[in-house]
Structure 1
Amino acid sequence: MTVQRNFHKEPSQLLELPEDQWFERKSFRINPKDLAKTIVGMANAEGGVIAVGITDRRFDGRPTAGQDNALRQTSLDHTDPTVRVQIELCDVDDRAQVYLFHVLPSERVHYLKSGDCFLRVGDETKQLRADDILELRYTKGEQQYDATVPMGANPSDLDMELVVAYAKAIGSSSADDALKARNLVDREGNPRAAAILLFGKNPQEFFPNAHIRVLRFGEDERLPGELQQLLEDQRFGGPIPQQIQAAQDAIGEMLPNARRLTNAGLFEDESLIPHDVWLEGLVNAVVHRSYSMIGDHIRFEIYPSRIEVSSPGRFPGLVDPTRPESIARFARNPLVARVTAELRIGQELGEGIRRMFASMRRVGFADPVYAQTSGSVVLTLNAMQRLDAHVLGDLPRHSADVLTVLETGGRPMSTGEVAEALGLSAPPVRRSLQAMRDAGLVRWRGNGPRDPRAVWSVTGPLR
């Protein structure tokens, strides 16, 4: 995702735009090696734009001939493999110029020529340690974690009754043949990570955080400390098929219901968020999470008007989380994904997401929302009425995006916070909020028009 602006018409935006995941300012005096760090960091993340020629939010002027040459050679001289960069010259006026480095996201991991590796995280470019680089390689698909053999793992760690049942499901003549056919064991017969996760007697011995945590809250807002109304907190471990089934049963008991007309032409009680939607979100989280990130687990959080599913690891490859319906089939854990599909537990990433969108639209709810942090993917399913096309046509330009930010924020937000989340200036966001307030879609809370603590929130969920 790159910054989409027409800087040639409004170069002053380069001074006002907040630095974030996809945008940063640099001076013409920057050392090319330091510029290369940001280039590598953005290429390893989601791409972005570096505006070179700005110091302390003031234009530097024009570069010297030496600076021009060094800037143009930065990627070639200092990155390995060479990062794809498009350099665009933006004329501010007769005396000032800015070089826009459009960094494309890469399907490979890039380094400096020194061997150091960086990743863009928020508005910072962070140097990665060896284990972070390995995780990045798994995310990019350069290496396959579920095909590795955990240290100390041997055939006795598998529950052979589960393997036999799987062999029958795929029509294999024996359990051993099934394991070999799906590359779930190495040449010595030792189980790979996928085999332990799917059929292990105790997968959590090797992967302590390979479990699902289900939480139910009494309030929509995330309140601090003792004010937080946590009503239920359950954890589900064991092999992947069993933990998904156990979590599914528990979640079904926790979710509020709504009465809907079914395909059979009858009104029946269903979970407020359609069953196939939240189950697909749960399965995707389990199948496609990063199992090499040992410090976190899957969280399935139930609020009165939404569900949030948090999964360790970023989207694999070059997936753009802002366009989830365009995600092609791609599995971070291809061995796990194939077995779960054969057991009719889930589909490959992409097909299931499109089905989730279709089901949410069928009941008139807003589209699922994916957000990506530095170390996780968060899916939000809102029991909020989808904006009608006619209503949306009467609202200002950014209204749908503004509403999405408020729906997924989990708390009331100020105009400035919404603007910062979208990378926009405050005036267009304020116009959208005011128009949506008039349409009854959002509410404002404050002590006066100039109250700096005033906040916005969405109106109640569709029941």
Structure 2
Amino acid sequence: MRYTIEEIRQMPEGQTFDCKSIHIEPKALANTIVAMANADGGMIAVGISDKTRRIEGVNQDKAHLNEILRTPFDFCVPTISVTTEFMPCQDSEGNDNHILIIHVPASPRLHANQADEVFWRVGDKSRKLPFEERLQLMYDKGERYYEDSPAYDATIEDIDMDTVKAYMKRIGYGKSPMEYLQENKGFLTYKGDVPQVSTACILLFGKRPQNFFPRARVRFIKYYGTEEKVGREMNVIKDVTFEGRILDQIQKTIDYLETQVKEHSYLGEDGLFKTDREYPKFVIQEMTVNSVCHRDYSIKGTEIQIKMFDDRLVFETPGKLPGIVRTDNIRHTHFSRNPKIAEYLKAYDYVKEFGEGVDRMCRELSAIGTKEPQYHLVAFIMKTSVWANLLEEEQEKTMSDQKRPESDQKDSETTQKLPRNYPETTQKQALDITPVQKEIIEFLLKCPYAGRKEISSHLDSLSEDGVKYNLKLLQQKGIIKRIGPNKGGYWKVLTFE
């Protein structure tokens, strides 16, 4: 992906980007190169001050520039195979000059500097690893790059080029899909004259990824109660599987989970309509993305399983915690088992910034009084339990408050704040509906003649099939009713009996 000088100058330093002055010493630069190679790779812009962002350029000191160019070879052990390019620019003094761009690949090997110190990229810092973390990283490097291995028997015909085009448009890549696949991330390489299609390429861009990786999918199972039972006591309520490319899996899974999350809507003491959820939206998204993005795809005998109980969600993901990540540092430590998949999802805003998601998830759970996720490794499956915000107690408290004589006047006053045709019962009791269903109801109150396509377009996050499914549930609950034929009829929002 090509950037302009101004785009690079404005780019914030982070997990995969840093800028350095031309005056930096090669030994110091080596630490950043080593840290990126050991982590997710990245790009370093030399000739832009990392403190003032002043454009210095690199032409003025040819001898020092040569030392900079030799840093990956002379100061990194083993040598790191970077690629470099010179971008023309005007420096801060108005002279024609160049910026040196160093592209650092994520390496399958463990790298150190000349002093045998190992560094790891954490946000915009290069952190020196203690011996124990260095040893763990060395062990885990071997399993990390399964996504780069060729997908057995896959050919170019198995790649959906329209999906590649959509991604290229997303990142601003101007060449052809074939050029992108051949020139980036090792998606398409050649062994002699035979094309080798990588695992990551099939998972991200394949026409039918499950033809090559049958268990590269997500399975959702909902149970009645708080325990998983089998045999004659089996308590499974729902069992749904989501397949397709990784992006499709994530979108379908999140959409469906949103239909299963309980939500209670009620009038608060301030007279405004309030909503409590079992799980924050970001937590649902983050856990789903983490499971799909960081699972060990070399484990082919099982899929990701998401199990919903009355009091918790359990995400069962093939593979132990990756790299130097442990249960006691997972909140602030990042390691991508599949960095190419992670970078792809970042372009679609599912990975906001490398390493920030777990911390934000913990903060959001804490804000609603729920404890942090719990992690437990069973054989080769990492089980993560996310505890629900139990809504029943809060609902009972709200109902009790509404029964007090002094609340009667508040109820009559706050009723006026709702739409005039909103169901009367929703003004007095909590609705056991999902967030998506609430949005559908509110939209139908404004647009009763809307069809599934129009509703889906309004919600943005729900497909037409998802709209159809939720309309059916709302009809079964007696919340809405179809008046007239499918074409020419309209939706009526009812009151509860």
TM-score of the superposed pair, with normalisation by structure 2: 0.47
- Residue equivalent to 1:163: 164
Closer/same/farther in 2, CA of residues 321 and 217 from structure 1, 3 Å limit? same
Unaligned runs of 5+ in 1: 1-102, 111-136, 386-463
Task: State the 1:342 CA deviation.
Answer: 1.0
Q: Distance in 2 between matches of 1:314 and 1:361?
A: 25
**Do the aligned residues in 2 keep the contact of 1:141 with 1:332 (CA within 8 Å)?**
no
- Residue equivalent to 1:377: 382
- Residue equivalent to 2:312: 306
Moved more, 182-191 or 268-277: 182-191
Q: Distance in 2 between matches of 1:337 and 1:199?
A: 14
Closer/same/farther in 2, CA of residues 143 and 303 from structure 1, 3 Å limit? closer
Which residues of 2 match residues 281-430 of structure 1 at below 5 A? 281-327=287-333, 329-347=334-352, 350-383=355-388
Name the SS for the 2:220 alignment partner. Answer: strand
Question: RMSD over aligned Cα, in angstroms?
Answer: 2.8
Q: Distance in 2 between matches of 1:349 and 1:260?
A: 37
Task: State the 1:224 CA deviation.
Answer: 3.4
Which residues of 2 match residues 45-444 of structure 1 at below 5 A? 104=132, 107=135, 139-141=140-142, 143-173=144-174, 174-188=176-190, 189-259=195-265, 267-269=273-275, 271-327=277-333, 329-347=334-352, 350-383=355-388
| Equivalences, count | 255
Closer/same/farther in 2, CA of residues 364 and 267 from structure 1, 3 Å limit? farther
Closer/same/farther in 2, CA of residues 219 and 324 from structure 1, 3 Å limit? same
Closer/same/farther in 2, CA of residues 314 and 142 from structure 1, 3 Å limit? closer
Larger CA Rg, structure 1 vs 2: 2
Q: What code does the residue aligned with 2:387 have? A: N
Name the SS for the 1:190 alignment partner. Answer: strand
Closer/same/farther in 2, CA of residues 182 and 359 from structure 1, 3 Å limit? farther
**Do the aligned residues in 2 keep the contact of 1:260 with 1:269 (CA within 8 Å)?**
yes
Name the SS for the 2:135 alignment partner. Answer: coil
Task: State the 1:347 CA deviation.
Answer: 4.2
Closer/same/farther in 2, CA of residues 186 and 274 from structure 1, 3 Å limit? same
Name the SS for the 1:107 alignment partner. Answer: helix
Closer/same/farther in 2, CA of residues 141 and 257 from structure 1, 3 Å limit? farther
Closer/same/farther in 2, CA of residues 200 and 270 from structure 1, 3 Å limit? farther
Q: What code does the residue aligned with 1:370 have? A: Y
Name the SS for the 1:355 alignment partner. Answer: helix
Task: State the 1:153 CA deviation.
Answer: 1.3
Runs ≥4 in structure 1, deviation > 6 angstroms? none
- Residue equivalent to 2:493: none
Task: State the 1:267 CA deviation.
Answer: 4.1
Q: What code does the residue aligned with 1:204 have? A: Q
Q: Distance in 1 between matches of 2:382 and 2:266?
A: 30
Q: Distance in 2 between matches of 1:360 and 1:163?
A: 36
Task: State the 1:186 CA deviation.
Answer: 3.4
Q: Distance in 1 between matches of 2:302 and 2:267?
A: 39
Task: State the 1:240 CA deviation.
Answer: 0.4
Closer/same/farther in 2, CA of residues 160 and 383 from structure 1, 3 Å limit? same
**Do the aligned residues in 1 keep the contact of 2:307 with 2:314 (CA within 8 Å)?**
yes
Closer/same/farther in 2, CA of residues 266 and 370 from structure 1, 3 Å limit? farther
**Do the aligned residues in 2 keep the contact of 1:210 with 1:291 (CA within 8 Å)?**
yes
Task: State the 1:202 CA deviation.
Answer: 0.7
Closer/same/farther in 2, CA of residues 304 and 228 from structure 1, 3 Å limit? same
TM-score of the superposed pair, with normalisation by structure 1: 0.51
Name the SS for the 2:317 alignment partner. Answer: strand
**Do the aligned residues in 2 keep the contact of 1:197 with 1:203 (CA within 8 Å)?**
yes
Q: Distance in 1 between matches of 2:361 and 2:237?
A: 27
Post-superposition CA distance 1:109-156 (Å, at most 9, x none): 99xxxxxxxxxxxxxxxxxxxxxxxxxx6x445651101111211111
Q: Distance in 1 between matches of 2:353 and 2:150?
A: 23
**Do the aligned residues in 2 keep the contact of 1:182 with 1:335 (CA within 8 Å)?**
no
Q: What code does the residue aligned with 1:147 have? A: D
Closer/same/farther in 2, CA of residues 307 and 109 from structure 1, 3 Å limit? closer
Closer/same/farther in 2, CA of residues 143 and 220 from structure 1, 3 Å limit? closer
Task: State the 1:106 CA deviation.
Answer: 6.1
Task: State the 1:278 CA deviation.
Answer: 1.7
Q: Distance in 2 between matches of 1:240 and 1:229?
A: 29
**Do the aligned residues in 2 keep the contact of 1:330 with 1:348 (CA within 8 Å)?**
no
Q: Percent identity?
A: 30
Name the SS for the 2:197 alignment partner. Answer: coil
Task: State the 1:384 CA deviation.
Answer: 5.5
Task: State the 1:244 CA deviation.
Answer: 1.1
- Residue equivalent to 1:437: none
Task: State the 1:253 CA deviation.
Answer: 1.0
